Amino acid sequence: MSRLNISLSNETLKKLEDEAQRQGKTISSIVSEASRMYMEMESSGISINHIRNTILIMNILKATDSVPVPSILLDSIIKLSMRSSETEAIDKWFERGEVVGNIIKQYAPDIASLKVAIDNMKDFLPSNMIRIKKDNYNVEIILSGAGYSKEASKCTCSGIEGFLKSYGIKVQSSENTEGFVKVKGILDPAIS
């Protein structure tokens, strides 16, 4: 077995010591495990950023009490709820969009940081394309892959409108069709 000296910040070393003690391991064994895991990730083509983004997405999913649902099933459920009460369904999507927006603001507190976060996590998002444009106080979100039906796109549009409200954006216009949503709004200057 080879030996290696490594440099760590005092804070990292303290956390590592505490964790080793908690697990009943040595610092050396934890560093060895971490090194093996790092090499396995690299050989699999998985980066540290990929792991960080996965953890972030998992935290957001947990905070929003989300569960994975097959998209075709979700589309069918949306159609049924829209037939039952379109107004209630649209209102519920708006409410949940606002709740999700408030949660995501903990990680991306403004539109600029949200845009960066979305660009960094596009591989994890269940849409074909999502783009945010910001020009001064004007904001536009375009989403492709927003469901299979007009109903799903209409609900997604309402969810995005609620999401934007949480960021202080007043919706000016919205368009939606099967699988496509575009929402334009104006950011409240007092919030930006």
Q: Where exactly are the structural domains of the chain?
A: 10-46, 69-187
> What's the pLDDT band for 93 if we cut at 50, 70, 90?
very high
Compute φ and ψ for 73, nearest 5 degrees.
-65, -45
**Would you call 183 helix, strand, or coil by DSSP?**
strand
| Placement of tokens 């216009």 in the chain | 173
Confidence at residue 192, expressed as pLDDT on a 0 to 100 scale: 56
Global pTM value: 0.79
Tell me the pLDDT of the chain averaged across its residues.
Answer: 92
User: What are the distances in angstroms from CA 13 to CA 19, 20, 28, 104, 153?
Assistant: 10, 10, 12, 31, 50
pLDDT at 155: 96
Mean pLDDT score, 157-168 = 96
> 98-142: per-residue pLDDT in tens?
999 999 999 999 999 999 989 888 888 878 889 999 999 999 999
Tell me what pLDDT residue 122 has. Answer: 84
pLDDT tens by residue, 26-75: 999 999 999 999 999 999 998 888 888 888 888 888 988 888 889 899 99
pLDDT of residue 128: 85
Question: Nearest 5°: phi and psi at 174?
Answer: -150, 150
- What span, in angstroms and rounded, lies between the C-alpha atoms of 81 and 91? 12
- Residue 191: pLDDT above 70? no
